[in-house]
A and B are shown apart, each in its own frame.
Chain A
Amino acid sequence: MKALQLRYVAAAYPITSKLDEEFKTTASSIQELIKELDDVYGGFLEMFINEESGKLNLNTMIYYGEKSKVPVAVLDIDQAITDGARITFW
């Protein structure tokens, strides 16, 4: 089980009604995490993953930061996630 610091910015905020939260998950990748979040917050998957291509939508952004590191933009939704990571969705 991983504990993640999730942050919802701009258009992601109305979907979750939260600015941020600690989220416990067994997801191993960004893609799995998004699917899990979609179960909690309907519309999350549609917002971030393109139905046709299965890739990140080009008009969204996810920043991924491991503990004590400067966050970087996520380019590959299969990117692994680690315990304690801070992930920003917008």
Chain B
Amino acid sequence: MRIRENRVQTVLRVDLSDGSFSKEELPEEWTGKYIGARGITSRLLYDEVKKGTDPYGPENILYIGTGPLDGLPVGMGRLSMACKSPRGTVAEGSAGGFFGPELRRAGYEYLAIKGKSDKPVYLYIENDNIEIRNASHLWGLSTYETDAALRFEIPDPDAQFRYIGPAAENLVHAATIMGNLNSCGGRAGCGEIMGSKKLKAIVVRGHNGIKPHDYDAFVDAYKVFRERVDIKTSRDMWTPVWNTYGAPVLSRLFPDLGNLMTRNAREMTWDAEKAINISSENFMDNYAYKAKACWCCPAPSCQKLYSVPSGKYKGFKGGNYWAGQPIALGSLIDNGNMDLMLVISGLCNQYGLDIFHIGFTLGWAMECFEEGILTKADTEGMELRFGTFDEDALVDLIGKIARKEGFGELLSLGCSEAAKRIGKGSDRFCLSVKGQELEAIAERNLLMVALGVAVSEVGPDHTRWYPPYPCNPSLITKDELSNLGIDLDLRLAFDTRNPAEKGKLLRWFTISRAIVEALPSCVFLVRDTLGLDLRPWWNLFKAATGFDLEYQELLKAGERLMNLDRLFNVREGFGRQDDRVPYRISHEDVPKFGYKKIDDNLLNPMLDEYYASNGWDLDTTVPSFAKLIELDLEDTVEDLWANGIKVK
């Protein structure tokens, strides 16, 4: 057994077209410059997937990687998955589980998978033993079936798997990459690209060890971190909630606050009885039977396993009930039936479908049906109305979407492409940005969220800025903030409906969360003061890697990563015109709560502040020459010029 250090990171490159593979050590300085995980996958993606690459072609590369803190107790098994999205943008998403630490134990931080196989395959990695194996017998199986089949084939209980379901095989929009049954990620397009390469699964088993560079310093840093996130000691109002009942408690609170997207966000409140039906409290009392955490996570709540106790779905088992389910599969389609919601959610995991794609696309279709844009002739006879839909038909429809059958084929495109196909003004009801559906957090009451949704390079993705609330102001002084490099009036910045300071706040969130995801760790553990004071993360990084990085250099690494994502998009032709909010959000007020639509008058000043604070051109959003020099990204300038992009 070899004990791995954390300074040098290694890529395993695999070409599925010819079955070749190679191992490459990344330059040691990259660990200081890009940290790891999302930082390195973004750099590799920018360098290696050139402008105009066909997303479904062999030259698109799927990167799956982790970073120097994974396998240690703060990495939480986080994985970054990246490629060029079928929608043309950078696609990056993260997931938890146990795959990341196992990949590191096998001797790699990253997989770079290019080419295309002509038949279904899976990749088997056991230290230096790399095999591309036939997966014809797995193709078409659900994710649960695939997990079981692989477990039978590879009985080593420590082997870790990532796989796709039928949705990704069929190139369904936003299909995910799954693992540990219910751990999903990569909704921005990574599942589709994995499916296009006919790569059904990746199996990894490692026999090496991982240790921090300075054990004692790491333990000291870990104690500080742990205090911030522990249920007993965290000074964060959400920590006990998140660690016990989980985010779906919001379904009971959000209707009062005007934050619950209901009936495709036509309304922002919901019937209290329905909200109680799909609440965490009901879930914990009657459905949950086991907590399931990611690697070393101190908050064992995200992936609770559940079983439907009675009724026609009695015995249906699944896992993962978080804020997305009660909104996307509950209020958004006016479904107050917990059994049905958990069945749809479980089926999404089994097919490898993204719950936000399903919820928002069903919401779009229901509104189109009620407006007469879609009829029974389109829906194969289904009365697709909010709240009164046929349950059995809806459950069948989920499978049809994954298989692209009948009416399901239209919905498999996602609401943006589906609206383009049927026209008739149906794009007014589509809640998506850059072709990707919204998520659970509402925009019109939280302007920073609206801005975050608009500018995100991957499309709506709350992990780019989560959590969007402040720590208690008494925990950090203005002087401390200044010393930490935060030039913000927090009072204004966290005034949810005042546009002032939102650009600068989002900039800080994006940089700081990029750092957390690059280490990697989980943004759901950004608790207490950890969202403003990154020194505990910084100390963990230094102790783990031995890099004596200045604090400001850590911040610069986060900014570098954020700029690389923007550079990828501008090189592909994306710009300010794409940084928008959906039609409904920009055209309709929420009168009951007094929330205004986020029209150009409201959005543009926030965009200007965001771009200006980043050093980006206000019209094109291209980072300035000075900014690229400051971030040691001068090597990108020539590439941008060569692609006809002016850098001022």
Contact of A65 with B256 at beta-carbon distance under 8 Å, contacts A10-B244, A19-B276, A60-B237 already known: yes
Given A59-B235, A59-B237, A61-B237; 18 other pairs, CB 8 A cutoff: A9-B245, A9-B281, A10-B244, A10-B249, A10-B281, A11-B245, A13-B281, A19-B281, A58-B237, A58-B472, A59-B240, A60-B240, A61-B238, A61-B241, A63-B253, A63-B256, A70-B594, A86-B256
A41 within 8 A of B: no
Determine whether the beta carbon of B280 is less than 8 Å from that of A10.
Answer: yes
Which chain A residues lie closer than 8 Å to B215 at the CB level? none
Which chain B residues lie closer than 8 Å to A61 at the CB level? 237-238, 241
A88 within 8 A of B: yes
Produce 1/0 per residue, B4-39, CB < 8 A to A.
Answer: 000000000000000000000000000000000000
A84 within 8 A of B: no
B77 within 8 A of A: no
Complex formed: what's the CA distance from A60 to B237 in Å? 5
Q: List 16 A-B contacts (CB under 8 A).
A: A9-B253, A9-B281, A11-B240, A13-B281, A19-B252, A58-B236, A58-B472, A59-B234, A59-B240, A60-B240, A61-B238, A61-B241, A70-B258, A70-B594, A71-B256, A90-B241
Which chain A residues lie closer than 8 Å to B244 at the CB level? 10-11
Which chain B residues lie closer than 8 Å to A58 at the CB level? 235-237, 472, 475
Which chain A residues lie closer than 8 Å to B281 at the CB level? 9-10, 13, 19
Complex formed: what's the CA distance from A88 to B594 in Å? 21
Q: Give the Cβ gap from A5 to chain B, nearest Cβ, in Å.
A: 10
Which chain B residues lie closer than 8 Å to A90 at the CB level? 237, 240-241, 249, 253
Which chain B residues lie closer than 8 Å to A70 at the CB level? 256-258, 593-594
Determine whether the beta carbon of B249 is less than 8 Å from that of A9.
Answer: yes
B239 within 8 A of A: yes
Which chain A residues lie closer than 8 Å to B279 at the CB level? 19
Q: Which of B234, B235, B253, B257 has the most CB of A within 10 A?
A: B253
Closest Cβ neighbor of B231 among chain A residues: A59
- Tell me the B207-260 residues at the A interface (CB within 8 Å): 231, 234-241, 244-245, 249, 252-253, 256-258
Q: Which of A58, A63, A65 has the most CB of B within 10 A?
A: A58
Residue numbers of B with Cβ under 8 A of A are 231, 234-241, 244-245, 249, 252-253, 256-258, 276, 279-281, 472, 475, 593-594
Q: Give the Cβ gap from A44 to chain B, nearest Cβ, in Å.
A: 14
Determine whether the beta carbon of A9 is less than 8 Å from that of B234.
Answer: no
Complex formed: what's the CA distance from A59 to B234 in Å? 7
Complex formed: what's the CA distance from A78 to B207 in Å? 59
Complex formed: what's the CA distance from A59 to B585 in Å? 33
Complex formed: what's the CA distance from A19 to B272 in Å? 11
Q: Give the Cβ gap from B321 to chain A, nearest Cβ, in Å.
A: 14
Q: Give the Cβ gap from A63 to chain B, nearest Cβ, in Å.
A: 7
Q: Give the Cβ gap from B228 to chain A, nearest Cβ, in Å.
A: 11
Closest Cβ neighbor of A56 among chain B residues: B237
Determine whether the beta carbon of A11 is less than 8 Å from that of B241.
Answer: yes
Which chain B residues lie closer than 8 Å to A11 at the CB level? 240-241, 244-245
Closest Cβ neighbor of B242 among chain A residues: A10
Complex formed: what's the CA distance from A63 to B250 in Å? 12
Q: Give the Cβ gap from A57 to chain B, nearest Cβ, in Å.
A: 9
Determine whether the beta carbon of B245 is less than 8 Å from that of A10.
Answer: yes
Complex formed: what's the CA distance from A60 to B276 in Å? 21
Q: Give the Cβ gap from A18 to chain B, nearest Cβ, in Å.
A: 10
Produce 1/0 per residue, A17-51, CB < 8 A to B.
Answer: 00100000000000000000000000000000000
Which chain A residues lie closer than 8 Å to B258 at the CB level? 70
